[in-house]
Structure 1
């Protein structure tokens, strides 16, 4: 069974929870800094993203998993932008900038 420390939970402003492997979550500098500092999030593994709605947090989590999956791929990598709906592109860009991923 996996250790609880190997997972990170991202909570959106509307209360949706997205659980992903810690190794993938660390693809975000903001998450990495939060989990390595002396914050309650480092103890609980739960990061509340109060400014981000579920659709955006879900896409950020998907991107972090994508980034982890293709980290050491030498060949062709599918383009992530094909997975982003145009109507959320700007909001997603702002969230990814904030989260440094």
Structure 2
């Protein structure tokens, strides 16, 4: 059985109200968990985060959440690994999407 991992997620100030004011959230995930599993766990524990997902709809402006990894994690993912290890810190960001522009010449 895979050993559990302790992963820390750093929360930016604009998202802290969704996380009960926390600056960082520590999660215990299965050793076989990947980055997607961490994100699903966050959505399960903090469902209001879902309102900030980009989704598949066309961009209409507003903000959306982005989960960033360090270069070591990205390299591991590229090689087919999970991108996670105990003590790994992931960072949430709230990014802005520009409003749709009107067609040129309109």
Q: TM-score, normalised by structure 1?
A: 0.30
> Which has a greater percent of helix?
1
> Which has a greater percent of strand?
2
